[in-house]
Structure 1
Amino acid sequence: MSAVEMDTGIPLLEVENLKKTFSIATSLLRKPLTLTALEDINFTVRAGETLGIVGESGCGKSTLGRCILQLIEPDEGKVLWLGEDLTKLGSEKMRKRRQDLQIIFQDPLASLNPRMTVGEIIADPLRTLRPDISKTERRARVLRMMEAVGLLPEMINRYPHEFSGGQAQRIGIARALITEPKLIVCDEPVSALDVSIQAQILNLLSELKEEFGLTLVFISHDLSVVRHVSDRILVLYLGRIAELSPGHELYTDPKHPYSQALLLAAPIPDPKTARARTLEGLKGEVPSPINPPSGCRFRTRCPYAKEICADQVPPLEDIEGGRLVACHRWREIEAELTGG
């Protein structure tokens, strides 16, 4: 098993030793550079849970989501769906799995075809993956799904430009749900929306998860967003896992310095609580994935880094109850912060 699991739930998805690189062309006379987007990624997703994936821009979150769905082919490793390795399937077999594996994109309007009506957009996966369904049944399913996501029936013949960002994202959610998938990758589905609309979409996703028995992989750069929807949270930094933890434990007792820094970066509405913070937040920029730091990739921004952090890549260690952390010094840091 690729990661330590809790006592409840069945693993639908297992990701083992996943690696993905991209070749970056610089000029005709120079050898292309290699960008390492993901390296040594291991985790499971159990039936009915929401796994949050967080990290700064450029850490590999969206690449990981697309590798899970085989929209991008990984260089190494396995993506096991109910025990079957998706990386070994041909295009035709993978096409059949698409019914169970869907995605909600970050930019709602950009993800919708402006030349298609709402009804056509939502029905499109059915036409592709369920050609056996009649036109009458397709329309009936579309109307049911529109109702489920809060869209009125009379909107079925309108075009995407006639909708707000929040309404457009509801269309994208309906499109993802129409094939009755088991797992949906939500790739920053609320980052392009106003705060008030974000809350509505997050509540909608929570309701739909319960109604349809969904399993979610929820990608975001914002820990405060992931907090409301995730059972477990995977913290990703520069293509490597920094920490994997139950959601409530990550927020109350983060182990990795990067997780601590991300929490400090999250806004606090209470001014007194914000001023009472004693730890420093993130400093500097994320290093280039073309030339990442040796050892621990976070060490160049970590206030606790020592020589070992530059010399050795920290293993993803099972510290307690299924919590995983990749840090050489997490015990020392914890003792220092707690005065133990």
Structure 2
Amino acid sequence: MSALNEGMVRTARLSGPPLEGFALYGFLYVWNEADIIEASVRNLFLQGCDRVFLVDHASDDATAALAQAQGAQLFSTHAERFFEESAKVLLANRCMAEVSARSGLEHVWWLFTDADEFPHGPGGRTVRGYLEELPGNYRVVGSRVLEHAPDAGAFAPGTNPVARYPRARPDPVAHCPAGHLKHQLLRFDRDAPPLYTGPGYHIFASDACPLPEPESSLVVHHFPHRAPAVTAARLKRILEENRLKRMLRDWNDPAKAGKGAAGETGRIEKDLHHWHARLRDLKKTYRLHETLPLWTELVPPEDAVMAGWEEPQDSRRVPRP
């Protein structure tokens, strides 16, 4: 399955020296992610991020406090009740533009993730270690995503979910000819046309497009399901409080159905949005765990190491100034 954007990016083998003197910043947009946020922020620092920025969608649990305790910086709070992808994207791009401009740096790599996404570099490297060897003429790196299926056991906040739930399947959707689901590692260059992240961090835009991307990819582990009770309660609340009202309004608009527009996003069956399907199929999802291979069997042997987490899991990486 693919939704290719050949005008956005092209795969190219480029040579040249790696970029020196860059910063690596992480970005998270979150709502009530207290069970996973500590591990998520920790992973970004373990991957070499100098700073991690947070937009909190008015969480009413400890998400923001837990993230900040791990070293994340609160960029803003989005108080709107309803979730809209367009608002998330707007705030992500605003953060990238404002923070990069204030940094005084010539080059800033930005790693955009959701709280349930855990990226690392290829070849047993952290994201920073990978970028330190990447030719400096690349400004975007694609991601291959593994969808992890949990068992029914508990998850200890702050620990590595990849170790806790190691079974997975690859996400088959591609948004570029190289087969990447996401393009969530983008670089700000002060003297080059800006890059703008897009919906879901799947796509991006720039006056410089099409941009070259390397054949190598980030490996991203996705954990939309964790401990059953926590996952079920969160899904029920999202749907019962109608937090997706505006997204579902577009989805139900007959004028948009079948045209590949915003209204079709998330449609997995004729009359079923993927959020409703996730709640309906929750028990089936947990039973899926034992049928899937270990994630290390789904990637080349050299990529089957999640760099960064070799350190003791109770240690904290102090963010760079």
TM-score (normalizing by structure 1): 0.25
Query: Which has the greater radius of gyration?
Result: 1
- Hey, which of these two has a bigger chunk of helix by percent? 1
TM-score (normalizing by structure 2): 0.26
Q: Larger relative CO (CA 8 A, sep 6+): 1 or 2? A: 2
